[in-house]
Structure 1
Amino acid sequence: MLDEAIKKRRELIANRKGRKLYANQDIEAFRKIEQQIKEEKGNIKKHWEFAVKGFFPIFG
């Protein structure tokens, strides 16, 4: 899912650089994609924080 979101984000940015105007649906899609990326990164961070605390109680 994260790979798809990043691919779509790059596509929208490329369209912008080519001076194409965003349609409203593109803007909404971009916002959704940005939110998904933030959520995925948050989940990854939480996972690693939990793993570090579990393996290295000193850091907990």
Structure 2
Amino acid sequence: MIRRAWAGVHWYLRALTGEDRYDRHLAACAAEGREPMTRRAFERHRTDVAAAHAHERCC
């Protein structure tokens, strides 16, 4: 039961911090049959998109 609770907390924290986004990227690429970006390229792309849309944030 403790292991199951920890798995739930771990899943929640990964989703909260955005760590699961790369896993979702991999799943989407597999479903579409295309080659996924590397983790480094994926994180760079996320950073570039966030910087390009910085004016849309309030803070």
| TM-score range relative to shorter protein | 0.3 to 0.5
Q: Which has the higher contact order (CA 8 A, sep 6+)?
A: 1
- Give the TM-score normalised by the residue count of structure 2: 0.33
More helix by share: 1
Largest Rg, 1 or 2 = 1
